[in-house]
Amino acid sequence: MKPAPILATLLAACGIAPQTARVQDFSALRVQVANTPDGSTLMLTGDLNDSALGIRNVRISSDRQQQTAHIIVYKTLANSQHTGQLNARFVLAHPVQRVLFGVNQQTIWTVN
């Protein structure tokens, strides 16, 4: 048994240390992107596989030059405020060609 992962999970569950979600943590993770010349709208939906966890926060950063958006989802213990259902909408001031997810920046959407 490795104490470091257990400790990290306990700290995240207490809200002391954030725990980030990976693509594999979701069932039916879906990204919809609507691009216009002036910007883009991103819709992100899905459900966490672990019913004991909820979504604490969703953050996005973007790079105008590379036309990318990077989404990070933070998990916590599920409660009335933090459910496992992901439903996030973001509006960016530039078009997006690729959407990255998580700390490992896995590509989850690219323009056709």
Q: What is the DSSP letter of 79?
A: -
Return mean pLDDT, the chain.
Answer: 89
What is the distance of C-alpha 39 from the center of its chain? 20
**Tokens representing residue 40 in the block:** 């883009």
Closest CA to 84 of 32, 45, 42, 33: 45
Q: What is the pLDDT of residues 42-89, one digit of tens each?
A: 999 999 999 989 999 999 999 999 999 999 999 998 889 999 999 999
